[in-house]
Structure 1
């Protein structure tokens, strides 16, 4: 396990004490005003032995909400609530990034009223998790002024995150949510400067990255991407051209890291030539976080093989708040079960 416990410098600003990352894990445990609770602060603080915690996805504005009780980062009370979390993590020697989130067409008006928004007026088929009585509706296709406002809102959320004590932010551009919806042909049928060509489809994600890095610094900004369509998005082989272009452009920009978005990294995509981590590693020189079903052993080996630089662990960290100590000492891990989602431990 030597690789996992080596310190790692993201850049000159942020140094990690090991290469184990807590993956973003939606827990739906904020209060009725989407404010983080003391229970959430305790939950994250217990996992501060990881090199980096990536928070559960955090809503940048009200119409980004697609799940019950997911925390926000757009009101003073939410900022104050997150400050309690970050203080608790820092007190225990950890570092934490906020994952900035807008769900796009995966949002539901049950939570906020008004309309859902997306690149194009194409509904996602299905129902809201945990609230299966709610079906997704056809979203409103965003206008150019509305896209401009979203860039402002992402930027303000990043500034709010720094104000709340986060060490940086991870822009959620994966898993079929708003930014990812711009990057896939099945969800983006626009015919303006935000659609049709790879350059146009990557325009909004790059504008968000540029605005956020200009506001808080590229050293504190990261990005999660799902080049392979596997959730909330249908496959289209033309997507490869979009991500080839996007990643080439990202090479010109400073970022703390790239993070693959996938539940199982053994999943391969013909049009990517393999797994998501394989494609990202071969397409970018950025620090890469690998995720998706790895154990400490397989993740350590993947780092040895230069498949990625940092290992994100998800469900095992729900089941084992002391995951790092157990791996260090060779103790058996508690097995994850879905019943554990009912409370924060």
Structure 2
């Protein structure tokens, strides 16, 4: 039955990663860690083990915060204490026992939080501009953030590097830096949230300086072949936001990624097949400016993913909700069996 999706289900190698297929588990915030310690438990171990046992090629974890101040809601896991590292080691050991590959997504929410969630401290951001909206699962409006000093920026970059180091100590095969969706790195990248006049502000090529420095620090710990960057036009706090010049913006990003030596990028959209400009989708425009590996995401279905891989638009296909609803997602594709439809009331409230 593998002939149904011959491209999607074929093995793929990136650096030292020998992936069973081109199916990727998209990063999805689950919120099942201990709220006080940020340590994951046995339920999280089994959650990821199941996907590895089913044969998912690459697993990207939920967002893992790099510090207490990076926290954006309750029950988020971390990678900044020894106890957290030990908890994640149980996960990576379980995944590797099933011959799987798993990477940690490193996350700092920046201004999208509240001091009562983020260790009693005000949110951090490139500029002291309050985001519009409410803290996820907490309900209170986002706090007004503190503008980060250059010392704050250097300390945060060190925290990213430490989290990457801890991820490798915990047995992860690599890391993904979350640079999308209106979180801290994206706040530096955006003219909406970054009004700085120093080396970290100004036009786009200067605003992405923070992102580049984070990537360089992370890559020094995890390796250039083991580091992914996720980027996007999307913003959780500004769903109507659009880039003024998408092609030039994408080109600026991809040139920056090449400059720092990134090999894998993860452009994020809500709908993979939606046209961005001139009849081309977001990922098709990215491919014009990027010859290396691309992870596709955005409400993909297997047929869409198969075609996109065949046409070299993407190299790997990330699935989110289908993998929540179907721990046996790969097996069902291989055998041509129907997939269970995702139901938030059933699949989001607990780990299955």
TM-score (norm 2): 0.93
2:200 to 186, 194, 199: 194
Aligned mates of 1:235, 1:105 — CA distance in 2: 20
Indicate whether 1:30 and 2:37 are aligned. Answer: no
Deviations along 1:187-218, one digit per CA (max 9) or x if unpaired, are 11111111112221110100011111122210
Indicate whether 1:42 and 2:49 are aligned. Answer: no
Indicate whether 1:266 and 2:273 are aligned. Answer: yes
> Is the 2:177–2:228 Cα contact (8 Å) retained in structure 1?
yes
The two structures, once aligned, show a CA RMSD in angstroms of 1.6
> Is the 1:186–1:236 Cα contact (8 Å) retained in structure 2?
no
Q: What pairs with 1:1-345 in structure 2 (closer than 5 Å)?
A: 1-11=5-15, 13-32=16-35, 33-48=37-52, 49-111=55-117, 112-132=119-139, 134-226=140-232, 228-233=233-238, 234-237=241-244, 241-270=248-277, 274-339=280-345, 340-345=347-352
> Is the 1:66–1:108 Cα contact (8 Å) retained in structure 2?
yes
> SS of 1:252's equivalent?
helix
> SS of 2:211's equivalent?
helix
> SS of 1:265's equivalent?
coil
How far off is 1:257 after superposition? 1.1
- Shift of the 255–14 alpha-carbon distance from structure 1 to 2, 3 Å rule, reads farther
> Is the 1:3–1:300 Cα contact (8 Å) retained in structure 2?
yes
> SS of 1:50's equivalent?
coil
How far off is 1:108 after superposition? 2.0
Aligned mates of 1:255, 1:9 — CA distance in 2: 16
Deviations along 1:42-79, one digit per CA (max 9) or x if unpaired, are 00000011100000000000111112101111111110
How many residues are matched? Answer: 341
How far off is 1:236 after superposition? 4.3
> Is the 2:29–2:63 Cα contact (8 Å) retained in structure 1?
yes
How far off is 1:300 after superposition? 0.5
Deviations along 1:227-280, one digit per CA (max 9) or x if unpaired, are x2453243341576454223112123433410112222234445x974321222
> SS of 2:295's equivalent?
strand
